[in-house]
Amino acid sequence: MKPIAVVSLCFWIAAAVWSDEAQDRLDVIRYGTETEIAALIESLKKDPSYEDDKLDAELAHIAQTTQNRKIVAGALSFFGGRQKGDLEERAIAIIENWADEPQDAVVAAIEYCGKMKPPGAASVLKAIVDEGASDVLGPAIRALGSVASVAGGATGADEIAEFLIDLYTNRDPGAGNNGTLLNALGETKSGKAVPFLVDIVNDAGQSSSLRIAALDALSRIGDDAGLDAVIGALSASEPTVRTAAVAALSPFSGQRVDEAILGNFRDSVFRTRAAAAKAAGQRKLSAAIPYLKYRAEKDEARIVREESIRALGAIGNGEALNALDALFSEPKNPDYARIQAAETLLNANVDAYVQQVIDAMDDAQKKHSTTLYNGFLRILSKAKSGKLESLAGRFFASGSAVEKSAALDMTLNNRFAALTEEVRALADQKSNALAKKAQSVLEKL
C-alpha cells in the first residue's frame, strides 16, 4: 500500500471512531437513564478537548423539556461551568418555583444564573432571598452579587449592594452566610458598599474571618475610599488579617501603597511576607527587588522563597534577572530554588539563559545530584529554543529512556525537522511507552 493510502486509511479510521463515539454520546442523551446521562456529563466535564455543538444542543433540548430534575441539575452545572447559554429561561423558572423543586436543581439553577447573568436574574434572586429560603440562601446571595454588574448598570449594582447591606444589618442572614454576603458585596463593585465594609475592617471586635472577607471585598471594589482601612489593617494583631490586608492592596496605587508592601517584608509571619512578595510582583515594584532577592536567598519559609522568585520574574527588568541568575548559579542554594530560578529565567529570555541551564544540568549529573538534574531536564524539555537541538540529538544518540523522552518533547516543542529520523527510529522499536510517544510525535510533526 502506498504511503498516501496508509495516511488516508488512518484518517478514515480516526473519523469513524470519532463518529461512533459522538453517536454513542447522542444516544445516551436521547435514550439514557438519569444515571447514564449524569455519568456522561461528568466524563464531558473532565474532557478538556470536548467541543460538540450538536451534543450541546441535544442536551439543552432535553434539559428544557424533561421533568427529571437530576438531568436538569446536571445540565445546568455542565453548561454553567463552560459559560454556555441556552438554559437561562429554564433556570429562572426553577428559581421562581423553588419551593416545589428539589434543592439540588434549585442550587444548580442559582449557580447557573450567577455565572451567565441573564436578564431578570437579579429580581428572582432577590425574591428567593426575601422569602428566606434558608437551604439555598448562601448560593442565592453569592449569585446576587455576581449579577449586579449587569443589573441596570451602576444604579442596579448600588441597589443590590444596599439590599445586601440591609439583609446583613436588619434581617440576619445567619452567621454561616455573613462571609458569603461580604464576598457578594465585593462582587457588586459598588461604591455604596465601601463605608459598610470599612466599618467591619476597622472593628477589632469582629471575627478575623469577617474582617478578611471585608478586606477582600474592598480589594474587589478598588475604591480609594477603602484604602485607609486596608492600610490600617496591616497593623492588626491577627496575622491572618495582616496577610489579607497585604493581598487587598493590589488594586490601589501610590507611594503609601508601595511603602506598605515593602514594610511587610519585615513581618515575622511567613504568610504575610509571601503576600508582600506576591503583591510586589503583581505591581512590578522595582523598589522591592532588593527585598525579594534577600527573601529568595535567605527566607526560612519555602513559600516565601518561591513567591519572591516568581515576583522577580514578573518584574523582569535587568536588575531582577541578575538577581535570579545569581540565585540559580549559587550551588549552596536549595535545589528547588535553583530549579525555579532557572525556569523563571528561561521564561523571561530562553535564548539568553538556555546554555547556562544545560551546563548546570550536566554539572549536576557529574556530581550525582539527581533531584537537581531531573529538575533542569524537566524545564528544558518544555523550553522553546533552537539551541536545544544539539542536546536533543545527544539524548537520542546515547541518552537514557528518560532523556530520550525529554528529547521527544524538545523535538515536538521546537519542530526540529532535522531530528525526524531519530524520532522514527524510536517509533520503530518494539512496542513500549517510549515507542508510542515517538509515534505520537511523528504524527504531530
pLDDT tens for 243-291 read: 999 999 989 999 999 999 999 999 999 999 999 999 999 999 999 999 9
Q: How far is CA 378 from the centre of its chain?
A: 22
Task: Tell me the pLDDT tens digit for each residue of 36-87.
Answer: 998 998 888 888 778 888 888 999 998 888 888 889 999 999 999 888 888 9
Task: Decide: pTM greater than 0.85.
Answer: no
pLDDT confidence tier of residue 19, bands split at 50, 70 and 90: low
- The whole-angstrom separation of Cα 60 and Cα 414 is 41
- The whole-angstrom separation of Cα 239 and Cα 78 is 39
Residue 18 pLDDT greater than 50, yes or no: no
Other C-beta atoms lying within 10 Å of the C-beta of residue 88: 18
Task: Tell me the pLDDT tens digit for each residue of 356-380.
Answer: 999 999 999 999 999 999 999 999 9
- The whole-angstrom separation of Cα 56 and Cα 165 is 39
In single-letter form, the type of residue at position 46 comes to K
Q: Which residues of 131-164 are buried (b: 16+ CB within 10 A; e: fewer)?
A: eebeebbbbbbbbbbbbbbebeeeebbbbbbebb
Q: Percent of the chain, pLDDT > 90?
A: 71
Half-sphere exposure for 230 (CA within 13 Å, toward CB):
30
Residue 241 pLDDT greater than 60, yes or no: yes
Q: What is the mean pLDDT of residues 372-389?
A: 96
Close Cβ partners of 143 (under 8 Å, ≥ 6 residues apart) = 110, 111, 113, 114, 121, 125
Task: Tell me the pLDDT tens digit for each residue of 91-117.
Answer: 999 999 988 888 999 999 999 999 999
Q: What is the mean pLDDT of residues 307-313?
A: 97
